[in-house]
Amino acid sequence: MRRGKYSSNVTWFTFVLYWNMALVYKKFKMPYLSYFEALEECDLKSLEHRRLCIDLIFTYKLMVTKEIIIDDPIFEFLDHSRLRRHRYYLKSLTTNSNKLSSQILSNRVLRCWNSLSDLMFPVKPSTAVFKSRIYKYNLNHFLSLNPTNY
């Protein structure tokens, strides 16, 4: 598959989603202005935003509630007692040395996960509560694509 200027997977999938939305707008003879305006009009989140939410929920299930168990760990907890961090502060066990390794889940989600407020994590571990809080939380500053640079 040749993508040319769409080097990252996020950019490529966003372009595909954009193209499909443009076709739907054209079919129903609706004026189409931009991908982000169409998302806003349809009350949808971008593909990148949805992926980040799902990654955070997966990480929560893996590290906090232990609903998911994998043989080779990809994260470890860091000692949070000396600093003002939440109790689930993580360190990646994989390096982030090149473009390919930056797409690995642990490297993709780590900055966002570690910057979450302690209030995001329920006192009693609950995936449903964490999920609802993540979907309400503004994650826009962790996204690489936005209306100003697309």
Domain map of the chain by residue range?
A: 1-44, 45-150
What's the confidence (pLDDT) of residue 86? 84
Of residues 67 and 77, more confidently modeled = 67
What's the confidence (pLDDT) of residue 33? 74
What's the confidence (pLDDT) of residue 119? 92
- Running DSSP on this structure, what letter comes out for residue 101? G
Of residues 28 and 133, more confidently modeled = 133
5 confidence band (pLDDT: 50, 70, 90) = low
Name the phi and psi angles at 75, rounded to 5: -130, 160
Section 53-80 average pLDDT:
89
Q: Which contiguous run of DSSP H or E holds residue 135?
A: helix 127-136
Q: Specify the residue for token string 């503004």.
A: 138
130 confidence band (pLDDT: 50, 70, 90) = very high
Q: Across the chain, what does the average pLDDT equal?
A: 82
Section 33-42 average pLDDT:
81
